[in-house]
Amino acid sequence: MLVHTALDRAEQVARHWVAGGCPVVIHVDRKVPRAIHDAFAARFADLPDVCFSPRHACEWGTWGIVAASQAAAEMMLARFPTVRHVYLSSGSCMPLRPVAELRRYLDARPTTDFIESATTADVPWTVGGLSEERFTLRFPFSWKRHRKLFDRYVDLQRKVGFRRRIPPGIVPHMGSQWWCLTRRTLSAILQDPDRKVYDRYFRKVWIPDESYFQTLSRLYAQSIESRSLTLSKFDFQGKPHIFYDDHLQLLRRSDCFVARKIWPQADLLYKTFLGDDAAAMKGTEPNPGKIDRIFAKAVERRTRGRPGLYMQSRFPRDNWENGVTSSPYSVFEGFTELFEDFEPWLARITGARVHGHLFAPHQVEFEGRQSTFNGALSDNALLRDYNGRAFLTNLIWNTRGERQCFQFGPGDSQFISWDIARDANAQISVISGAWAIPLFQSNRNFADLRTEAAMLQKIESEHLSALRSPWAKGRIRIWTLAEFVESPMEALQQVLDEVGIQEQRRLSEVPRMVDLTGFGQFLQNLKNQGMHPYLMGDFPVDPAPDNAQKPARKPYLVR
């Protein structure tokens, strides 16, 4: 048992092992002051089955831990000749099942070595980029204390092309440092005539406690079970996860023999698992599956986060968002201008939340024109424009599970123009030039109309260039007004297919298009005034009689 802090807990665990009939050799880190060590050792005076091995300084990632394990293992094999399996544990390990159960388990497998051991090429465990290089470079500097020197020296060796020679006969393996080896294997490792060679080599290997026994046991073991009997989970930086009182049920259901690390103040865990009434589990195989899943999820939460969430501890740089928003939504540009009752129709047919112009200049047009919306978003336009992107991402995040649709156009504030363009969740359908329809219908001075048309055209053309840029990731469809009016049903059907309405029926009901009689002439008038509207495509200057033949367009079915 390797111990460096929380000596009270270590004592408790050691006594538990001894009570279960297992002799214990304790190694106390040399960094623990002598006085404390002696007092600690004295507390075991009543237990002949506990002894203390020569002390080594154990710094993470260095040889000290292996030296300590070797010394302790030698002492164990020498002092207790009846011992068949040696289990390496630490002061923060805790047996979850009665010791007798572990003994039974090992008795049934007298020649099996439990040690996680895999070749470097085959496992993605390593954190920090050093896997094979652990064995081929030198590591004289402490990673914890002299990180810069450590990194520099690694870089230098890479540049120079330095490689250490791996001693003949061994193939580097890695795995959890917590093993359980048979006397046979362990003594073979410790008494190997070449041990000096191996020790000298591993002394300069990076994190040798995860590779020394793992490699050498491959030379001698009769049958290796490549797994650790100790449940030990690591986070994305290779630091061990800690178990607290609230993990009690999780640990109970894991059926593992030993777990680490346990938080020293986790009184409930210690009371439950080291108490006399430690209920025997079903005597089954360890089953850490559930714990594995929970911890894997936590690592994912820490490294990838929840897409589309911007909060105090997740604020990705541009393009690192892993999804600008959290879920798909639809943006319609020019549809409300072309169709008279587009919003209610869309809501009816898709069942989605259909907003008006969310980015309208004076007020946010939420569905039903509410003054607040999910997450207490306000309809105040100033508040929205203070951080347009936050408004959009908040809206989509707050309505997770419901599809949002909203209208957009050149009359709206344009802060999110680029954000929706580069958002893969955005489905953007544009009828370009449709902004001219309200102008055409309005009864304002032509000079004003001309100015406004020029401005809107400029804004929309900028927006379109964002949508057409190579950075645009949304699902974007752009029709000119002329194209759209040519075959509106087909276009609508396409859009709705992407929104993903459940029913496969073809459109049975279509919105009513506004009367465009005279629109071509209106555009021509603009041209005549020197303002060339081009975004709506080639709209015919409709000769009046031709238009008269088909007056109000009636809704019809497309089959």
Partner 1 sequence: MIAGLAARIGLDRVRRRGAAGAAAAGRVWAAARLAYWLRWKRRRLLLRAIRKRRQLRAVTDRTAGIAPEAILAFATLRNEVARLPFFLAHYRALGVAHFLIVDNGSDDGTLALLCDQPDVSVWSTQASYKLSRFGMDWLTWLHWRHGHGHWCLTVDADEILVYPHWETRPLSALTGWLDGEGLQSFGALMLDMYPQGPLDAAPYQPGSDPVASLPWFDAGNYMIQRHPVYDNLWIQGGVRARLFFADNPRRAPTLNKVPLVRWNRRFAYVSSTHQILPRRLNRVYDTLGGERMSGVLLHSKFLHMIANKSREELARRQHFENSDLYTPYHEALMQSPDLWCPHSTKYEGWQQLEDIGLMSKGNWV
CA dihedral of residues 290, 294, 296, 302 (deg, nearest 10):
180
Alpha-carbon distances, residue 257 vs 95, 282, 442 (angstroms): 6, 12, 80
Q: What is the length of the chain?
A: 559
Told to check if 451 binds partner 1 by CB under 8 A, we report no
**Which of 196, 282, 317, 505 is the binder for partner 1 (CB under 8 A)?**
317
Least distance to partner 1, CB of residue 236, Å: 7
Stretch 258-287: interaction string toward partner 1, x if CB under 8 A = -----x-x----------------------
Least distance to partner 1, CB of residue 421, Å: 20
* Three-state secondary-structure class, residue 478: strand
Told to check if 320 binds partner 1 by CB under 8 A, we report yes
Least distance to partner 1, CB of residue 259, Å: 13
Q: Where do runs of H (alpha helix) occur along 31-146?
A: 34-42, 64-79, 99-107, 133-136
Told to check if 60 binds partner 1 by CB under 8 A, we report no
Residues 287-316 that bind partner 1 (CB under 8 A): 294-295, 298-299, 301-306, 309-316
Least distance to partner 1, CB of residue 194, Å: 38
Residues 89-118 that bind partner 1 (CB under 8 A): none
Nearer to partner 1, 221 or 269 (CB): 269
Nearer to partner 1, 150 or 522 (CB): 150
Least distance to partner 1, CB of residue 309, Å: 5
The tokens for 463 are 């927006």
Closest C-alpha to 177, from 214, 144, 203, 205: 214
Told to check if 5 binds partner 1 by CB under 8 A, we report no
Stretch 349-378: interaction string toward partner 1, x if CB under 8 A = ---------------------xxxxxxxxx
Give 406's DSSP letter: E
The tokens for 339 are 């169709």
**Which of 49, 192, 199, 235 is the binder for partner 1 (CB under 8 A)?**
235
Please state whether 313 falls in left (phi above 0), alpha (psi between -120 and 50) or beta.
alpha
DSSP string for 317-345:
PTT-SSSSSSS-EEEEESHHHHBTTHHHH
Told to check if 387 binds partner 1 by CB under 8 A, we report yes
What's the CA gap between 139 and 149, in Å, rounded? 10
CA dihedral of residues 333, 334, 336, 338 (deg, nearest 10):
-160
Q: How many residues bind partner 1 (CB under 8 A)?
A: 53
Binding site for partner 1 (CB under 8 A): 235-237, 239, 241-242, 244-247, 263, 265, 294-295, 298-299, 301-306, 309-317, 320-322, 370-378, 380, 382-383, 386-387, 390-391, 394, 397-398
